[in-house]
Amino acid sequence: MPDLSAAHDAAVTDRARLAGSAYNGDRDLAARQSLYRWQTPRYDLPGLVAERLSAVRGRVVDIGCGNGTFLQRLRQDRPDLSLLGIDIAPGILAHVPGPVAVADATRLPLAAGSVDGALALHMLYHVPDIPQAVRELARVVTRDGVVVASTNSDRDKAELDELWRRAAGDVLGVDRGPARISLGSRFTLERAPALLGEEFSRVEVVELPATVTVRDPDPVIAHMASYRAWADQQDAPFDATIDRTRALVAEHISRHGAFEITSRAGVLVCRR
């Protein structure tokens, strides 16, 4: 059962933590993104998003653009579009080329109906007031504009959650340790259609089921360690638990040849 407590929500949405630590640069985000290199089938998420914008002309804003992965792809595939990146964290915008602005998804510095497409990719779960961010998305796009959001299912990477509990249990000397923090649980693929459906009459869900197969513990450990900004929120010592996960993954790989992780991301294409 995901932790949906007020303390969990406060930690996942805390602006100071997001801007000052979690997304102060792109090290941790890049570690999470790079795990998908070992995904089968290997979805081209930036390409899929660009495809969903194929009928869009004019202006597109990427809200919570992070290290600019999607902006870069759009700049390459769609030089006709006028692009703007927005993020709450100035540090992560430092190396994103092109026009960018520091702003909050719940108070966009954009006029009503001023963009033809808007992206909110793997970011709405970090917003304290998700319905307000969805209203802002609906406000800034034109009547026939497209909003593309993305997130993960609540079944995504279940093996990593279990791995954390085993490692934390070993560190604490108990059978099964406490769960690790879940970043995405406030806006999962299961909850997203209802939240987006408050403002958009058509919400198409594109599921991207896959398996990540690694034969070396490093990418898994880098992914798990990318939660370091929330280390104080874990009920087990962070570094010791990470060290233990490395040993467990290495042991699993030497016995079975690989470590497999369920990947359940999805894209939501919204229209009015």
Ligand X SMILES: C[S@@+](CC[C@H](N)C(=O)[O-])C[C@H]1O[C@@H](n2cnc3c(N)ncnc32)[C@H](O)[C@@H]1O
Strands (E) located in the chain: 39-40, 59-63, 82-87, 100-102, 115-121, 141-152, 202-214, 259-271
How far is residue 5 from each of residues 10, 31, 161, measured CA to CA in Å?
Answer: 9, 27, 18
The verdict on 118 binding ligand X (CB under 6 A) reads: no
Among 31, 35, 84, 88, binds ligand X (CB under 6 A): 88
Tokens of 123: 């970011």
d(CA 265, CA 241): 26
Distance CA 185, CA 208 (A): 18
Tell me how far, at minimum, the Cβ of 104 lies from ligand X, in Å: 4
Choose between 34 and 211: whose C-beta lies nearer to ligand X. 34
Q: Segment 141-200, which members bind ligand X (CB under 6 A)?
A: none
| Phi, psi for residue 260 in degrees, rounded to 5 | -110, 140
Binders of ligand X among residues 127 to 146 (CB under 6 A) are 127
CB 62 within 8 A of CB 119: yes
Query: Among 17, 23, 233, 267, which residue sits at the site for ligand X (rule: CB under 6 A)?
Result: 23
Of 50, 53, 56, 92, which one interacts with ligand X (CB under 6 A)? 92
Among 28, 104, 116, 199, binds ligand X (CB under 6 A): 104
Considering the complex, state which of residue 66 and residue 177 has its C-beta at the smaller distance from ligand X.
66
- CB atoms closer than 10 angstroms to residue 6: 7
Token reading at 73? 């792809």
Q: Cβ neighbours of residue 14 under 8 Å, at least 6 residues apart? A: none
Beta bridge partners of 141: 115
Q: Which is nearer to ligand X, 128 or 209 (CB)?
A: 128
CB of 73 to ligand X, least distance (A): 11
- Return the residue nearest ligand X (CB atom): 66
Pick 65 or 249: Cβ nearer ligand X: 65
Size of the residue set binding ligand X (CB under 6 A): 19
Stretch that binds ligand X, among 57-65, 230-238, 246-254, 258-266 (CB under 6 A): 57-65
Interface residues with ligand X (CB under 6 A) are: 18, 23, 29, 63-66, 69, 87-89, 92, 104-105, 121-123, 126-127
